[in-house]
A and B are shown apart, each in its own frame.
Chain A
Amino acid sequence: MGADREFRVHRRALLAGGAVLPLAAPAIAQGAPIKVGVVAVLTGPQAALGTQLRDGWALGMRHLNNQLGGRAVETIVIDDELRPEVAVTKVRAALERDRVDFVVGVVFSNILQAIMRPVTEANTFLISTNAGPSTFAGRGCNPYFFTTSYNNDQVHSVMGQAAQDEGYRRVVLLTPNYQAGRDAFAGFKSRFQGQVLDEIFVPLTHTDFSAELARIASLRPDAIFTFMPGGLGVNLVRQYRQAGLANIPFLSTFTVDEATLPAQGEAALGFFAGANWAPNMPAENNQRFVRDMEAQFNYVPATYAMQSYDAAMLLNAAVRRVGGNLADKNALRAAIAAADFQSLRGAFRFGANQYPVQDFWLCRVARRPDGRFQTETVRRVLEASVDPWVGECRMPPRV
């Protein structure tokens, strides 16, 4: 792929050089590729999520003939290793040495928090394609920051609303003992009005859930709500099924998705998740996206890939809108904010804090006819949902 891209750039440079040589220097600069830094975790236990994110962007570039708004693109992939200090060093290098025009990506909030200032203070647009912490949705909102994903609280509150709608009265909550886990509880409880029987915290490195499962069985809840990303979720889901608890509805966020389903398989069948998208959405562009992701990367895409693909389409529309001129930051910002593209998830626009206003769905794990597993939409839970922090955001009208 690298060689392919280099060849393209080379050929363009040759053409530009041959045809435009007598013209002034700025015209040649205009022909230089747009540089995009894609930040994703590609090593460590959570690398599967970063791989999805990177591949979603790559497919977007392929569908756009490796161009944004008619200008060639050079993608620089940055592995943040899920270590904030590493992410900052590498992103600074991309900003100062490679002079990237956009920074895209980031799976985890702590990485986003680390690179936020270096990127935005360099007057460079940062498009998060997954992490959506409340800090940057409220008081910390920034004109150089957009996200194509969601605010974390929204996803958890979807499950709270779903539990409320289903009439569950007694619920047990289960999450790792760190900030995002506590946020998950808060988000869930913001819409759930029944009784929380117990809140169980486990270490982030937990593997054997037997003690927690025994406790859940002894409490006999109507449903459980959990947030167990990555390998944690694989262990929980399989052990939950093996312990015969599957008759207690399993409500979750970031626990059963296409990144973990290959390892969870049948054990996750019928389990619920809250999301802004699912691969079975019938829109024509979405079906093409899912089909091509599977053909090229041989896995079913998850939201990480979808949101990155959307970011490619978003930037394509924005660059086209400003006629390829990235120098006027105010015009470029307005063009991004217009979100003049067809999102794979359907209705999409940016709120005042530049976080998406979108629908959220209750999804359920299903087996497809070809034997692969994916989440599928059950019903729309929240319509055109605005995150709860937008009121605290004082967004400057111009940069």
Chain B
Amino acid sequence: MNTTLLLVQALNGLQFGILLFLIAAGLTLVFGVMDFINLAHGVQYMLGAYLAAYFAAITGSFWLALPLALLGALVIGLLLEFLVFRHLYDRDHLSQVLATFGVILFLNQGVKAVFGTAPLQVPVPDLLTGGVRVMDGLLYPTYRIAILAAGLATAGLLWFLVERTKAGMLVRAGASNAPMLSALGVDVKRLFMLVFGFGAMLAGFAGVMAAPILSVEPGMGDNFLILAFVVIVIGGIGSVRGAFVAALLVGLVETIGRGLMPDVMRLFLDPSAARQTGAALASMLVYIVMAAILAVRPAGLFPAGR
């Protein structure tokens, strides 16, 4: 594998990591601040993509669909909080897992009932079609560069919100000691609701951004959910900064690992066995890295406020 290819793969890894970060950021906030395990976070990503597909089909414009889908994701997030999640904050983690898993099943079937079973597509917006030639015969799509930019901007915005605003201060305080915050006269219920709605909107945003490159289909969030949990565990639960670093790490390990592992295995095995074991090992790599990091830092890279 030559240097150019390695650089291109690194770029691919970063872009995948940014997408992961958008999903994991909301998850880590909800988990960290509210100590609430929300398995349904993946379906909120899916809903964002479906809303984008729906609004893009109606309005014919990605740029109109984007704010509408974000608004829709926010409304659905708040609605779910009001109807389901609110009643689970005081329960143990197992009840939360069961209930939010039920939400996954319900919403996966729900989009199927509303939008049908066949995958949908969202066209790449005209402004962002085409690409940059990064190596001979390979374009790096402009749209993927836009995802990178949007992800970095979101990360910056989140950092500002969490570290530099009063709301952010309350969120950080909630993450370290919610009962104390409540005793100081802060309406923790409302804070939770806002955090939850914001988290749902971030997941929805990830879905909207992914819709033009990935197929919009029922269950599309389920695979991302597992990786998102890996990210927040590596990063330290509740830490946005940790989620950012961990998401990029997971994205790079996953992408470069898939490119390199078959070649590495070829040193030991014959080509056809090397390809298969290499591919299998590459999918394990992320979890091996997670185990290694947790062995050294059990609370993750950037443990939040403890």
Please state if B138 and A213 are interface contacts (CB–CB under 8 Å): yes
A243 in contact with B138 given A218-B2, A259-B118 (CB within 8 Å): yes
Query: Which residues of B (82-118) have their CB < 8 Å from a CB of A?
Result: 109, 112, 116-118
A369 at the interface (CB under 8 A from B): no
Number of interface residues of B (CB under 8 A): 54
Q: How far is the CA of A89 from the CA of B55 in the complex (A)?
A: 41
A214 at the interface (CB under 8 A from B): yes
CB distance from B7 to the nearest CB of A (A): 10
Residues in A with CB closer than 8 Å to B258 are: 202, 211-212
Query: Which residues of A (16-45) have their CB < 8 Å from a CB of B?
Result: 42-45
Please state if B137 and A244 are interface contacts (CB–CB under 8 Å): yes
A207 at the interface (CB under 8 A from B): yes
Residues in B with CB closer than 8 Å to A303 are: none
Residues in B with CB closer than 8 Å to A182 are: 276
A214 in contact with B9 given A242-B143, A260-B119, A263-B118 (CB within 8 Å): yes
Q: Interface readout for B142-169 with A: 1 if CB under 8 Å, 0 if not?
A: 0110000000000000000000000000
CB distance from B280 to the nearest CB of A (A): 7
Q: Interface readout for B252-288 with A: 1 if CB under 8 Å, 0 if not?
A: 0001101100100000000010011011100100000
Residues in A with CB closer than 8 Å to B125 are: none
Q: State which size class the interface on A falls in.
A: 35 or more
Query: Which residues of A (188-244) have their CB < 8 Å from a CB of B?
Result: 198-203, 205, 207-208, 210-215, 217-218, 220, 230-231, 234-235, 238-239, 242-244
Q: How far is the CA of A348 from the CA of B16 in the complex (A)?
A: 48
Please state if A242 and B219 are interface contacts (CB–CB under 8 Å): no
Please state if A214 and B217 are interface contacts (CB–CB under 8 Å): no
Q: How far is the CA of A220 from the CA of B136 in the complex (A)?
A: 9
A231 in contact with B283 given A43-B112, A214-B259, A265-B121 (CB within 8 Å): no
A262 at the interface (CB under 8 A from B): yes
Residues in A with CB closer than 8 Å to B4 are: 218
CB distance from A150 to the nearest CB of B (A): 23
B289 at the interface (CB under 8 A from A): no
A200 in contact with B275 given A210-B15, A217-B136 (CB within 8 Å): yes
30 contacts between A and B (CB under 8 A): A42-B117, A43-B109, A47-B112, A47-B117, A48-B117, A198-B275, A200-B262, A201-B275, A201-B276, A201-B278, A201-B279, A203-B283, A208-B19, A210-B12, A210-B144, A211-B9, A211-B13, A214-B8, A217-B138, A218-B1, A218-B4, A218-B136, A231-B215, A231-B217, A234-B215, A235-B215, A242-B141, A243-B131, A244-B138, A299-B118
Q: Which residues of B contact A (CB under 8 A)?
A: 1-2, 4-5, 8-9, 12-13, 15-16, 19, 109, 112, 116-121, 123-124, 131, 133, 135-141, 143-144, 213-220, 223-224, 255-256, 258-259, 262, 272, 275-276, 278-280, 283
Q: Which residues of A contact B (CB under 8 A)?
A: 42-45, 47-48, 50-51, 177, 182, 198-203, 205, 207-208, 210-215, 217-218, 220, 230-231, 234-235, 238-239, 242-245, 247-248, 259-260, 262-265, 299
